[in-house]
Structure 1
């Protein structure tokens, strides 16, 4: 690829908040795990679901009005 050729970025406008998308993703993973037998794959799905829930909590905390920038 030539240095003068620029790739265009694919910009997508999200209509659903990150927190809602993460919650839905976690819920789907838990539902999938519930239909599986005990084992490593089920544990992996539950771990991913918990990670998505934590990410949603962090997003909520970061975007909260109570969060203040550090003072110099």
Structure 2
């Protein structure tokens, strides 16, 4: 049976998402218009949405179910 490779994340999910969004926002600037550029922009928008959802889930106002 194969063993899973596990490792601890050294940065929070929010920080990793912020860096990914910044990287994905810079990449399309040098890319000519076309499908590849649109895919990069879409991935950046998805990462921004994930960052927003992560913020909502980690907000202090969120209460666990009783």
Whether the TM-score (by the shorter chain) exceeds 0.5 is yes
Listed as ranges, the gaps of 5+ residues in structure 1 are 1-5
* Deviations 1:27-60 (CA, angstroms, capped at 9, x unpaired): 1111111101111110110100110011011111
Question: More helix per residue: 1 or 2?
Answer: 2
* TM-score (normalizing by structure 1): 0.80
List structure 1 segments (4+ residues) > 3 angstroms apart after TM superposition.
none
Instruction: Count the aligned residue pairs.
Output: 66
Larger Rg: 1
**Aligned pairs (5 A) from 1:1-72:** 6-71=1-66
> RMSD over aligned Cα, in angstroms?
1.3
Listed as ranges, the gaps of 5+ residues in structure 2 are none
